[in-house]
Amino acid sequence: MKKQKVFFILSGLFFLFYSPFVVFADSDGSLQLNSDMITTQSGAGSSTSDFAIRSQLFSKDLDNKTQEKAKSAEEVTKHINEINFNKKSQNHLYQTNYQSLKTELFKNYSQTNVTSDDEKQASKNVGLLILLIIAFPLMILTGVVARSLTRRKRRKV
Identify which of 60, 22, 65, 57 has the alpha carbon closest to the alpha carbon of residue 40.
57
All structural domains of the chain with their residue ranges: 130-157
Provide the residue-wise pLDDT of the chain in tens; the chain has 157 residues. 788 888 889 888 888 777 776 666 677 777 766 555 455 555 555 555 555 666 677 778 888 898 999 999 999 999 988 888 787 777 888 778 888 888 888 788 888 877 776 666 656 778 888 888 999 999 999 999 999 999 888 888 7
pTM: predicted TM-score of the whole model, two decimal places: 0.26
Q: What is the model's pLDDT at position 36?
A: 52
Torsion on CA atoms 24, 29, 34, 39, rounded to nearest 10? 90
Note whether 85 and 61 are within 8 A (CB): no
- DSSP for residue 46: -
Q: How far apart are CA 38 and CA 56, in angstroms?
A: 8
